[in-house]
Amino acid sequence: MKLKTLIIFFLLATTLVATPVFSASQTYNVEINEAYVFRNILTDESISNNNEGDLFILVRYNLPASSTDLASVDEWCAEIRDNTGCTSTGSIYVDPIFPNTINEGVAFATVYKDGIATSITQQEPLKRIGHGLSGIYVDAGHNITFGNATTEVCIESSTTRPDGTTLITPKTQDCLFPTWVGGVGSQSDQRDRLANLLSGLGSPIKNLESALYMPQFALLSPLGKITPLGSAYTSESLSFMSSIIPSAFQIGAEAVLNSSIVTPTNPDSAFQQELDIASKNLTDNLDKVGGAYLGMSGGAFATIFMAIIGIFLAGALYSATNNGYMSLVGFTLPMTIGLYFRAPTISAMFGLIVIMGAFAIWYMIRKVPQ
């Protein structure tokens, strides 16, 4: 009887530890850290007064996954569609694997033309919980005076969820007066100012890197270029950022945190879920290492690494067997394994197969008697 009681107690304790716990009294804290306003980013108007041209507002924010207030430690974890890893016990740091699966419409970046006491001028939903970047684009024809001292930019919660249930009442809100960057200037001038802000001292990208406790140069390279991992965050503020200021990005930089990720490939398969998560974490880490130390994407770094392994393995097999076919298999094997984490890409692998096939045909033709 005692043994049965101990087993039941153990199972209950294990369940409580393993299951995400979300507190009943959420506070939904929000933080706005920086906000910068640019003009004429997409339009190319001749600016003659402070109401012309479009506006782009870059915002760095935080929707805390956990709170330092131990009475409410879960907060925004409950509002992401995939809260894998987003658990908390006491003051343990929360690190969700999929922070970018936040339900659209529960938190926003908002601009108020004449302060928060007035009506909303423009609003954009946030893309992730935790630390991130957001952007508010205001098309030309607006009535916001550039440099207006009463304009406020806020990070705020909604009062309801998309399904109509109550989120929190009243909404939580954190606001500041933005920094207006530049004034009268051409489109190229304004884009240069945006690029300089992102790559210079005190860059919001660098500040984001520090806030996320990432390794140095994970988001911004030693040369001040936005890395592939960093581009994932900038694209959440303006999806085509790398197209309008390509000089601010590393060559070949591409977003590695896809904001459209919602569920693994096969949500009915626990094994596939683990495989998807493991693959994503590995490619993210490769991007960090490649961007920080070599100035290249994680895929390129991993391809070179696997090619070196393949060359050594091919040499070892040829030395042991004196067989060219075995050395070919030895080189191909690591490259095939590398497809799991984008080293090489499938197109590069097919190119390699074509080249090897051409050599094989040439070798066989040589063996044909004249």
SS3 98: coil
pLDDT at position 327 is 77
Local confidence pLDDT in tens for the 370 residues of the chain? 444 443 433 333 333 333 333 443 467 889 999 999 998 888 877 666 666 788 999 999 999 876 544 334 457 888 888 877 775 544 444 567 788 889 989 999 999 999 988 888 999 999 999 899 999 999 988 888 889 999 999 999 999 998 889 988 889 999 999 999 976 678 888 899 999 999 988 899 999 999 988 888 899 998 899 999 999 999 999 998 999 999 999 865 544 444 333 333 333 443 343 344 344 455 556 665 666 566 666 667 777 878 888 888 888 888 888 887 777 777 878 777 776 655 555 656 667 677 777 777 877 787 766 6
Looking only at the bridges linking them, the beta strands covering 55-63 and 152-157 are unpaired
| Model pLDDT, residue 261 | 35
CA 215, 93, 135, 104 dihedral sign is positive
Question: E strand or H helix at 108, and its extent?
Answer: strand 107-112
Contact call for residues 191 and 185 (beta carbons, < 8 A)? no
CB 34 within 8 A of CB 88: no
For residue 228, cis peptide bond before it (omega within 30 degrees of 0)? no
| C-alpha span between 308 and 205 (Å, rounded) | 33
> Distance between CA atoms of 155 and 65, rounded to whole angstroms?
15
Cα 260 to Cα 100, 131, 212, distances in angstroms:
8, 18, 21
Torsion region of 164: left, alpha or beta (phi above 0 gives left; psi -120 to 50 gives alpha): left
pLDDT of residue 208: 94
Residues 6+ apart with CB under 8 A from 51: 142, 143, 144, 145, 146
Which residue in 136, 173, 114 sits closest to 39, CA to CA? 136
